[in-house]
Amino acid sequence: MTGKGGTGKTTVAAALALALAAGGRKVLLVEVEGRQGIAQVFDLPPLPYEERKIAVAPGGGDVHALAIDPEEAMLEYLEMFYGLKRMGKALTKMGVVDFATTIAPGLRDVLVTGKTSEAVRRRDRTGKRVYDTVVMDAPPTGRVTRFLNVTQEVAGLARVGPVRTHADMVRGVVASPETAVHFVTLLEEMPVQETLDGVAELRAAKLPVGGIFINMVRSVDPTLDGPFDVAELAMGVKAAGLGDDGNAAVIAEALAGEVTEQQRRAELERTERDALETAAVPRYELPLLADGADLAGLYELAEAIRTQGAA
Amino acid sequence: MTSPELDLDGIIDDSGTRIVVCCGSGGVGKTTTAAALGLRAAERGRNVVVLTVDPARRLAQSMGLTSLDNTPRKVAGADGELFAMMLDMKRTFDEIIEAHADPERARQILTNPFYQSLSSSFSGTQEYMAMEKLGQLRRSGEWDLIIVDTPPSRSALDFLDAPERLGRFLDGKLIRLLMAPAKAGGRSAFKILNAGFGLVAGVLTKVLGAQVLKDIQTFVSALDAVFGGFRQRAEQTYKLLQAPGTAFIVVATPERDAMREASYFVERLAEERMPLAGLVINRVHRSPAPDLSAARSTAAAEDLESRGEHELTAAVLRLHAGRMQLAAREHREQEHFASAHPTVPVTQVPAMSQDVHDLDGLREIGELLAKR
Ligand SMILES: Nc1ncnc2c1ncn2[C@@H]1O[C@H](COP(=O)(O)OP(=O)(O)OP(=O)(O)O)[C@@H](O)[C@H]1O
Ligand SMILES: Nc1ncnc2c1ncn2[C@@H]1O[C@H](COP(=O)(O)OP(=O)(O)OP(=O)(O)O)[C@@H](O)[C@H]1O
Ligand SMILES: [Mg+2]
Ligand SMILES: [Mg+2]
């Protein structure tokens, strides 16, 4: 799940995880930016670098969460491939791990996507996948292609060797038809533009584009769409007992201004919707929650995702 | 609790004001505010340059910023001396290198893969380069007012913290450690290797490969030879920001997250002794019928609906009720800020029904910003 900053990536990723887990499935929700966004939307204390169950989906089904920390992922990697656990700790203290993951940003990404890919591929004793789906709250649109395009990114860094092998494994998962990169956007100029740019970039990198989740859609009574008569409104205002002959007209005039403004915004939103259509991918609409995205709101969004067939 | 009024005309008209910095959390209107203030200041007689970061495409076009050439261009259509530029962080970084290194060394650095990833994707590079560019514009002395937009980031504090982070990184202990063998020159260096370096080099070689480690070392030592003090540079610009000719304008939308960020930032500016001019609350929703409350409006709509009459009016009343609720929520956020920061001057800009994407739009925002 990617999108412009602040459009609702974390919220929508969480709702999608709930929707996908509904009816008895098991989903892992992963975050990669060290911001504890998942804990925030589920109203939980900070999550450790450890998979744990955080929510039950409608009709049974579990959502597990994991906050991936690149340093921890690096230590795990050192241990797994080199048996370097103790030394890893010492290196962290010296800041080496931080250094390595900073000066070589591709390395940081490959560690994070590597950990995620490992969870995707993990199987239990019976050979069944442990998670039905893994949902990632990914970096914003501007960085996501680079982030997912790991082989490309580490190409200049490591032509051969373990990092390279790791990157190839990640590429196999990320570019597979089982993966979909979804976008979250608002019906505003900048997020829409970023979404279209992002879709084009992913396509150029041959990465699988999923759908577009249009978030915070305001529902407006269709009665207010067309041209309307202020005199009629004034009569209605009067009938509702909100004014007498004189000030009903004044109130109607003021309210009419509100309607015109609303219509202008709706027009603008139509333009943005049309622009999104040019991406030629499925689009889903999620309502603006009046009370913000609290826990109940998440379930409401999950329901909207399910009824639109996005999960 | 109401806040004092922010007198923006007073600030941009004062010839003592040399730098205006527009900060705030993501998407609140920093770029719009910077551009609008720049236009207004120019049209009121100042010689202005606006440094924008990632402006919306149509806004950039309206200011004639079609290519990212990293130099200020005069804005046609502004009635005064207005120049504008878009920050190109990689180019700014490249220019620092080119200005301080002989051509051969500069080439070595610019083509190094680590330089390339550092200059284009290290988090904090954009903030550092915005400050660097500000320093350059100030030193050029060509403009008497510089208006700076800040990079899109979730937290406004990043603008103050990120440059320091890059500086700390480039001047860091580990970098020194890695540089040690290169400095001592070739093979003989291995004699003075301390245990720390051996450990570091061992692991980095294992994970990244020997070539990579060599690339890092070459890069680090070339960079170091060019100029020792990234941190020092950042500190200089930091001082500029504390100078009396600077005015910080914090931008926020009247929503909880954005106002909280604004609060943090205001407190931080005070700690750093950086001059705060005030808060711009952008995209405020108002109603042209403020006397009709949400409750009354909803009740009236219900009444009409139950009687099955005046469908249109009922819909309009519901729209109005929603608008009044929103306005009330926004008002509470503002009051909250005012009670926490009673001395911080505030101005409000209403939410327009359209994006701000041309000079007329900017002029209108400028007008609203200055309105008291
Ligand atoms: N459908 C919605 N209705 C109402 N509020 C919403 C909705 N979706 C998200 N929000 C709110 O919008 C804000 C931003 O959402 P969120 O943190 O999910 O965005 P993000 O894209 O992950 O942001 P960031 O780029 O900072 O990571 C939050 O306060 C969230 O509660
Ligand atoms: N008062 C306003 N009314 C309506 N739209 C506005 C208003 N102010 C800004 N906008 C619009 O909001 C969007 C975001 O504004 P802007 O780019 O200035 O924000 P920003 O803080 O610079 O964002 P970023 O953090 O992404 O850099 C733009 O499309 C702009 O036209
Ligand atoms: Mg998030
Ligand atoms: Mg901006």
The answer to whether the CB of B169 falls within 8 A of the CB of B117 is: no
**Strand pairing category for B82-86 and B73-74:** antiparallel
| Averaged pLDDT score across all residues of chain A | 90
Q: What would the two tokens of residue B246 be?
A: 């600077």
Is B30's C-beta closer than 6 angstroms to any atom of ligand 2?
yes
Is B177's C-beta closer than 6 angstroms to any atom of ligand 2?
no
pLDDT > 70 in chain B, percent: 85
Q: What would the two tokens of residue B142 be?
A: 């060509």
**Strand pairing category for B19-23 and B246-252:** parallel
Mean pLDDT of B268-286: 95
Rounded to whole angstroms, the Cα distance separating A8 from A44 reads 18
Which chain A residue has its CA at the smallest distance from B208's CA? A158
Predicted pLDDT at B188: 37
User: Domain coordinates of chain A in residue numbers?
Assistant: 2-219+273-307
B283 Cα–ligand 4 center, Å: 15
Q: Which residues pair with B279 in a beta bridge?
A: B250, B346
Residue B192: pLDDT band with limits 50, 70, 90: very low
CB pairs under 8 A between A and B: 161
Specify the range with the lowest mean pLDDT, choosing from A98-112, A218-232, B17-31.
A98-112
Chain B residue numbers with beta carbons less than 8 Å from the beta carbon of A240 are 300-301, 303-304, 310, 313, 317
Q: CA of B167: how far to CAs of A66, B4, B124, B265, in Å? A: 32, 38, 9, 21
Of A173, A128, A147, A144, residue with least CA distance to A26: A128
Q: Which atom of ligand 1 is nearest to the CA of A286?
A: 1
The answer to whether the CB of A286 falls within 8 A of the CB of A33 is: no
The answer to whether the CB of A109 falls within 8 A of the CB of A147 is: yes
pLDDT at B291 exceeding the cut of 60: yes
The pLDDT tens digits of the residues spanning A249-300 come to 999 999 999 999 999 999 999 999 999 999 999 999 999 998 788 999 999 9
The pLDDT tens digits of the residues spanning A82-96 come to 777 777 777 777 666
Chain A residue numbers with beta carbons less than 8 Å from the beta carbon of B310 are 232, 235-236, 239-240
Predicted pLDDT at A105: 61
Say which residue the tokens 């709702």 belong to. A15
Closest Cα in chain A, distance from residue B315 (Å): 6
Do B152 and A221 count as a contact with CB atoms less than 8 A apart?
no
Q: Which atom of ligand 2 is nearest to the CA of A5?
A: 26
Q: What would the two tokens of residue B174 be?
A: 């580990």
Residue B193: pLDDT band with limits 50, 70, 90: very low
The pLDDT tens digits of the residues spanning B309-328 come to 999 999 999 999 999 999 99
pLDDT > 90 in chain A, percent: 68
The pLDDT tens digits of the residues spanning B36-87 come to 999 999 999 999 999 999 888 889 999 988 876 789 999 999 999 999 999 9
Do A161 and B56 count as a contact with CB atoms less than 8 A apart?
no
Which of the two residues, A154 and A60, has the higher pLDDT score?
Answer: A60
Which chain A residue has its CA at the smallest distance from B220's CA? A103
**Strand pairing category for A209-217 and A181-185:** parallel
The pLDDT tens digits of the residues spanning A200-215 come to 999 999 999 999 999 9
Say which residue the tokens 């003989």 belong to. B188
Residue B260: pLDDT band with limits 50, 70, 90: very high
End-to-end CA distance of chain B: 17
Q: Which atom of ligand 2 is nearest to the CA of B357?
A: 31
| Averaged pLDDT score across all residues of chain B | 86
3-state secondary structure string, B222-233?
A: HHHHHCCCHHHH
pLDDT > 70 in chain A, percent: 93
Do B312 and A233 count as a contact with CB atoms less than 8 A apart?
yes
Closest Cα in chain B, distance from residue A86 (Å): 12
Sheet bearing B73-74, strands edge to edge: B73-74, B82-86, B48-52, B145-149, B19-23, B246-252, B276-284, B346-350
User: What's the pTM value of the predicted model, to 2 decimals?
Assistant: 0.90
Do A157 and B212 count as a contact with CB atoms less than 8 A apart?
yes
Mean pLDDT of B342-371: 94
Predicted pLDDT at B225: 64
Predicted pLDDT at B106: 87
Is A293's C-beta closer than 6 angstroms to any atom of ligand 1?
yes
Chain B residue numbers with beta carbons less than 8 Å from the beta carbon of A105 are 117, 121-122
Q: What is the CATH number of domain A2-219+273-307?
A: 3.40.50.300
Is B355's C-beta closer than 6 angstroms to any atom of ligand 2?
yes
Mean pLDDT of A218-226: 87
